[in-house]
Amino acid sequence: MSIVVTAATGALGRLVVGELLERVPADRVAVVVRDAGKAADLAARGVEVRVADYDDPTALATAFRPGDRVLLISGNEFGRRVAQHTAVLEAARAAGVAQLAYTGILGGPEADFDLAAEHTATERAVLASGVPYTFLRNGWYHENYTRELPAVLGRGTVVGSAGAGRIASAARADYAAAAAVVLTGEGHLGQVYELSGDTAWSLAEYAAEVSAQSGKEIAYTDLTAEEHLSVLTGAGVPAEFAAVFVDVDAAIARGRLAGTGGDLARLIGRPTTPVAEAIGAALA
């Protein structure tokens, strides 16, 4: 039996593998990747590398073994993810895996925004398959915002259309630690974890914290949805992706990413990383 991480060379996947290697021997960890070369460093540490693509059911058929514990990290290709996730699910079911943990989105069926629809469909497929499951409904990552800090500092403003809506984000590393706990521990089958940060914050508060830490005056500019869409497309964001981002801000305004139920902190056994700490690290 191996603990298998899909999309293991991505930003979240690498962090999960790192957490696993602190908990179990490397020969108990396997990764599923499209490009073996990108996982050469993991192979050198004794991790088994299995090559397969979410779009290649034939390759996926050999990616899993009976009794494996699998983390299905959701894909990032909007409009294709249900088919991709279903292909992974079918391969895992056929192999007889002992657990399939899936990284969905905070709120599950209650998440009534476009980005969540494919996650909800995937969860339904998992339930229908009969595969032993754990749902990791991840909230927003701090990094969704801190990666934009160079642009924010350049223009002197945080731009959005979320109004006074609050975001209970956490560090990507916090979510990775939770996944590792679920994959290496017991008692998680059939469980649904709503994962989010301990404290929710608004974009105005985020801008104020960036201002305080950077020493540069940063404001939050709250736009209408139409204005926000225009700004994003004007900056070169493809229209379909820009529409998704604007829709997410509308969901934030409705409180859909503000939940602070505490599941994440309980799983990892410590408080979640404060957004102020993530801002400081990014500025450094």
Render pLDDT for 230-239 as a digit per residue (tens, 0 to 9): 999 999 999 9
Q: What is the DSSP letter of 10?
A: S
Classify residue 19: in a domain, yes or no: yes
The stretch 43-69 carries a mean pLDDT of 97
- pLDDT at position 78 is 83
Query: Nearest 10 degrees: CA dihedral of 257, 262, 268, 273?
Result: 60
- pLDDT at position 243 is 95
Are the beta carbons of 120 and 137 closer than 8 angstroms?
no
- pLDDT at position 79 is 83
Question: Given the structure tokens 């056929």, which residue do they identify?
Answer: 94
Where is average pLDDT lowest: 112-116, 174-178, 266-270? 112-116
Classify residue 271: in a domain, yes or no: no
- pLDDT at position 274 is 98
Taking 90 as the threshold, does the pLDDT of residue 21 lie above it? yes
User: Distance between CA 120 and CA 81 in Å, rounded?
Assistant: 11
Provide the CATH number for the domain around residue 122.
3.40.50.720
The stretch 74-103 carries a mean pLDDT of 95
Query: For residue 220, what pLDDT band results from cuts at 50, 70 and 90?
Result: very high
Taking 90 as the threshold, does the pLDDT of residue 183 lie above it? yes
The stretch 35-52 carries a mean pLDDT of 97
Query: Cβ-count burial of 118 within 10 angstroms (0-12 exposed, 13-18 middle, 19+ buried)?
Result: buried
Classify residue 210: in a domain, yes or no: no
Query: For residue 76, what pLDDT band results from cuts at 50, 70 and 90?
Result: confident
- pLDDT at position 99 is 98
Checking DSSP bridges between strand 157-160 and strand 133-138, what pairing results, if any?
A: unpaired
- pLDDT at position 1 is 86
Tokens of 138: 């991840």
Q: CA distances (Å), 144 to each of 47, 115, 172, 220, in order?
A: 29, 14, 9, 16
The amino acid at 206: Y
User: Distance between CA 135 and CA 3 in Å, rounded?
Assistant: 16
For residue 128, give its domain range.
3-138
User: Distance between CA 202 and CA 166 in Å, rounded?
Assistant: 4
How many domains in the chain?
Answer: 1
Classify residue 205: in a domain, yes or no: no
Give the whole-number percent of the chain exceeding pLDDT 70.
Answer: 100
The stretch 168-196 carries a mean pLDDT of 98
Classify residue 224: in a domain, yes or no: no
Query: Cβ-count burial of 240 within 10 angstroms (0-12 exposed, 13-18 middle, 19+ buried)?
Result: exposed
Render pLDDT for 104-149 as a digit per residue (tens, 0 to 9): 999 999 999 999 999 999 999 999 999 999 999 999 999 999 999 9
Half-sphere exposure of 118 (CA within 13 A, CB side): 16
Classify residue 50: in a domain, yes or no: yes
Question: Given the structure tokens 């754990």, which residue do they identify?
Answer: 134
Nearest Cα to Cα of residue 206 among 218, 224, 223, 222? 218
Classify residue 196: in a domain, yes or no: no
User: Distance between CA 171 and CA 144 in Å, rounded?
Assistant: 10
Classify residue 274: in a domain, yes or no: no
Q: CA distances (Å), 283 to each of 34, 145, 148, 214, 274, in order?
A: 32, 12, 11, 7, 15
Mean of the per-residue pLDDT values for the chain?
A: 97
